[in-house]
Homo-oligomer: A and B are copies of this chain.
Amino acid sequence: MSSTQHSPVNAAPVGVALVGCGYWGPNLIRNFTASRTTRLVGVCDRDQGRLDAVAGLNPAARQFTDFKELLKDPEVEAVAIATPPKTHAPFAAAALRAGKHVLVEKPLCVSSPEGEQLLALAADGNLTLMVDHTYLYSPAVRRIKKLIDSGELGRLHFFDSVRINLGLFQNDVNVLWDLACHDIAIVSHLVDRTPIAVNAHGISHTFSGMEDVAYLTLDYGDNITATFHVNWLSPVKIRQLIVGGHQKSVVFNDLDPNEPIKVYDRGINVSDEPESRHGLLVGYRMGDVWSPHLPREEPLRNMVEHFARCIRTGERPLTDGLSGLNVVRILEAAHRSIRAEGRRIPLNQPVSAAA
């Protein structure tokens, strides 16, 4: 995928309607409004107060409190869903049945049967089904992907992500569904495959029983593992991904506005002789650090335009329904691992995220 993509010349903007005007909805409204590839036709929320609150962002969009009415609007070609996770699948299914293309906020849904049904509905209707794993449209992740694909990092050793802060507790999902969701999507994209097994740990410190501190380890095979620490109780905010490679390594600090990505020309040199008289010979290489300049693009804008382009061209989205379903399957396996005291849960049907 190239770093800049536009819809085909002269393609008419895609008529989009948004359902869900809470925390994230306004960001979608802003981008659907600003992009020339989309036209915001309608906005839907059962709470009229919320509709009023966002009206200024796009006064031309029609207001709906009834989702069914919205689906009847022939100008609505596509529906974007930014409601609580548990309602993603019902809204998406209804929209697909009504012949609309669908964009769903992450996670795609909260169970794999739901996800499988959505994929089937999209396939049946020949409709675009896409999930908003926004990070995959960020200049930083795009750059890291290039570095990996070019071979510059060498064989991959490990991924480690820390995504912690004193955070917005969610009511219907735990910290894995809320935060690790991003890391699963990012790393699966970077290595271009799905993991073969999952271990997870998590604890809850509230009445809800929902985990607020959790660790997830994914085995991607070939001696590559990825571990994610996600946490709603941390006094400090950290957003850091380390990609350890044999030749070079990358650190992505999403909170550093100046040098978000640093490439370290460092690594180990293992002697050819498996074992010398004095044991294993391991040497170190310390080299330059390089922080590539990244274009100032809003990931959400890139995502919105990719959605419009896929609808107009029939191209398969980078974050299609299947990649969203794979994330859901991993989160389900993580849940089982937590219940089984951290036991390894194989993912029996590895399906390529990019296939």
The 5 closest A-B pairs by CB, nearest first: A171-B279, A235-B264, A235-B249, A169-B282, A341-B344
Question: Could you tell me if A225 and B244 are in contact, using CB atoms closer than 8 angstroms?
Answer: no
Interface residues on A, range: 35 or more
The answer for the CA separation of A293 and B290 in the assembled complex, in Å, is 10
- Tell me which residues across on chain B come within 8 A of A355, comparing CB atoms: none
> Given A201-B227, A213-B158, A279-B171, does the pair A286, B236 have CB atoms closer than 8 Å?
no
Question: Could you tell me if A199 and B235 are in contact, using CB atoms closer than 8 angstroms?
Answer: no
Q: Which A residues are closer than 8 A to B by beta carbons?
A: 56-57, 59, 157-158, 160, 162, 164, 166, 169, 171-172, 197, 199, 201, 203-208, 210, 213, 215, 217, 223, 225, 227, 229, 231-237, 242, 244, 246, 248-251, 258-259, 264-268, 270, 274-275, 278-280, 282, 284, 286-293, 341-344
- Tell me which residues across on chain B come within 8 A of A217, comparing CB atoms: 201, 215, 342
Question: Could you tell me if A166 and B235 are in contact, using CB atoms closer than 8 angstroms?
Answer: no
- Tell me which residues across on chain B come within 8 A of A251, comparing CB atoms: 235-236
- Tell me which residues across on chain B come within 8 A of A201, comparing CB atoms: 199, 217, 225, 227
> Given A249-B235, A286-B293, A344-B341, does the pair A171, B278 have CB atoms closer than 8 Å?
yes
- Tell me which residues across on chain B come within 8 A of A197, comparing CB atoms: 341
The answer for the CA separation of A288 and B197 in the assembled complex, in Å, is 38
The answer for the CA separation of A341 and B229 in the assembled complex, in Å, is 19
- Tell me which residues across on chain B come within 8 A of A344, comparing CB atoms: 341-343
- Tell me which residues across on chain B come within 8 A of A284, comparing CB atoms: 166
Question: Could you tell me if B279 and A342 are in contact, using CB atoms closer than 8 angstroms?
Answer: no
Question: Could you tell me if A227 and B215 are in contact, using CB atoms closer than 8 angstroms?
Answer: yes
- Tell me which residues across on chain B come within 8 A of A171, comparing CB atoms: 278-280
Q: B264, B265, B278, B343: which contacts A236 (Cβ < 8 A)?
A: B264
The answer for the CA separation of A231 and B205 in the assembled complex, in Å, is 29
**Shortest Cβ gap from A200 to chain B (Å):** 9
The answer for the CA separation of A94 and B258 in the assembled complex, in Å, is 44
The answer for the CA separation of A79 and B221 in the assembled complex, in Å, is 47
